A and B are shown apart, each in its own frame.
Chain A
Amino acid sequence: MRTLTILSIVIAASVLSSSRRLHADSRGDELARWIDERGIEVWGPPPERCDDLTFARRLYLDVLGRVPSVSEARDFLDLGENRRDTLVDRLVFGEGSRANVYRRLAAENLASHWRRVLIPPGTSVNGSPQTIENWLSTAFAVQMPYDKIMRTLAQISTSDSAGQYYRLLGSLPENYASHLSRVTLGVRMECAQCHEHPYVDWGQEDFWGLAAFYSDMGRAGDNPDASTNARAEGAIEYEGVAYPAKLLWSDEPMKKQKLGMRARLADWLTSPQNPNFSATAVNRFWQYLVGRGLYADVENLDRATPEQRAFLDELGQRFANDRFDVSRLIAAIVKSTWYQAVSVEGDYESDTFHRSLKVLSPEQVFDSLEQALMLPVGRIDPTSPRWSGEMSQLVTRLSETVGATPEEYASGIPQALMLMNGRMTSDAVDLEQSRLLRAVVESPFFGDSDRIETLYLAVLTRGPTAEEAEALAAYIADKPTIAAQRSAFGEILWALLNSPEFVLCR
Chain B
Amino acid sequence: MSVTDHFDSFSRRDLLQVATAAVGGVSCSGWLPKLARATEGKRPPKACILLWMAGGPSQLETLDPKPGHKNGGPTKAIKTSVPGIELSENLPAIASQMSDISLIRSMKTREGDHGRATQLMMTGYRPMGGTIEYPVLGSLLAQRLQSKDAQLPGFVSIASFRLGNLGAGFLGPRYAPLLVSGVSNDPNTRANLTVENLNAAGIGRHELAERQYLLDVLRRGVPVDATAARKHAAVYEQAIRMVETRGEGAFDLDEEPSELRDAYGRSRFGQGCLLARRLVERDVPFVEVTLDSAGDGNWDSHLNNFRSVRSMCEVLDPAWSTLLRDLRDRGMLESTLVVWMGEFGRTPKINPNNGRDHFPDAWSVALAGASIMGGQVIGATTPDGMEVKDRPVRAADLFATVLEAIGIPSTAENQMGDRPIPIVDDGSPIEELLG
Chain A interface residues (CB < 8 Å from chain B): 120, 122-125, 170, 172, 174-175, 178-179, 182, 188, 190-191, 193-194, 198-199, 221, 224-225, 297, 300, 343-346, 356-357, 359, 400-401, 403, 407-418, 420-422, 426, 460, 462, 465, 467-468, 471-472, 475, 491-492, 494-496, 498-501, 503-504, 506
Contacts and interface: CB of A to CB of B under 8 A. Distances in A.
B222 interface: yes
B169 interface: yes
Contacts of B111: 224
Interface in B219-268: 219-223, 225-229, 231-233, 235-236, 238-240, 242-243
A472 B216 CA distance: 11
B222 A410 contact: no
B132 A190 contact: yes
Given A426-B201, A500-B222, A504-B226, A416 B128 contact: no
B173 interface: yes
A263 to B, nearest CB: 24
A480 to B, nearest CB: 14
Contact of B178 (A193, A224, A410, A414): A414
Contact of B232 (A191, A421, A460, A503): A503
A407 B173 CA distance: 15
Interface in B123-144: 126-133
Contact of A494 (B201, B211, B219, B243): B211
Contacts of A357: 222-223, 226, 228-229
B215 interface: yes
Interface in B170-218: 172-174, 176, 178-179, 195-201, 203, 207, 210-211, 213-215, 217-218
Contacts of B235: 411-413, 415-416
A179 B203 CA distance: 47
Nearest 4 pairs of A and B residues by beta carbon: A190-B130, A495-B214, A401-B173, A416-B239
Nearest to A193: B130
B225 A346 contact: yes
A492 B214 CA distance: 7
A252 to B, nearest CB: 25
Contact of A412 (B126, B174, B196, B419): B174
15 contacts: A120-B131, A123-B165, A174-B129, A175-B129, A199-B418, A224-B116, A357-B229, A408-B228, A413-B239, A418-B197, A420-B200, A468-B218, A492-B214, A494-B211, A499-B218
Contact of A500 (B165, B196, B229, B418): B229
B227 A407 contact: yes
A409 B228 CA distance: 5
B130 A495 contact: no
Nearest to B166: A124
Contacts of A492: 214
A199 B217 CA distance: 48
B137 to A, nearest CB: 16
Contacts of A346: 223, 225
B435 interface: no
Contacts of B238: 413, 416
A344 B176 CA distance: 30
B221 A400 contact: no
B222 A124 contact: no
A188 B119 CA distance: 22
Contacts of A221: 113, 116
Given A122-B165, A472-B217, A495-B217, A188 B222 contact: no
Contacts of A409: 227-229, 231-232
Contacts of A472: 214, 217
A501 B218 contact: yes
Contact of A495 (B211, B226, B417): B211
Given A224-B127, A420-B239, A500-B222, A124 B164 contact: yes
B45 interface: no
A209 to B, nearest CB: 15
Contacts of A182: 131
B167 interface: yes
A224 B221 CA distance: 53
Contacts of A500: 218-219, 221-222, 228-229, 232-233
A122 B166 CA distance: 7
Contacts of B221: 460, 462, 465, 468, 499-501, 506
Contacts of B115: 124
Nearest to B242: A413
A421 B246 CA distance: 13
Contacts of B127: 124, 224
A421 B228 contact: no
A467 B242 contact: no
B223 A345 contact: yes
B153 interface: yes
Contacts of A198: 419
A495 B209 CA distance: 12
A421 B132 contact: no
A224 B235 CA distance: 40
Nearest to B207: A491
Contacts of A124: 115, 119, 127, 164-165
B226 A356 contact: yes
B128 A225 contact: yes
A122 B197 contact: no
Contacts of A359: 228
B165 A179 contact: no
Contacts of A178: 129-131
Nearest to A227: B129
Nearest to B198: A417
A400 B133 CA distance: 14
Given A182-B131, A356-B228, A412 B173 contact: yes
Contacts of B176: 400-401, 412
Nearest to A194: B128
Contact of A498 (B119, B131, B215): B215
Contacts of A460: 221
A442 to B, nearest CB: 21
A504 to B, nearest CB: 5
Contacts of A475: 213-214, 217
B318 to A, nearest CB: 30
Given A416-B235, A421-B200, A506 B222 contact: yes
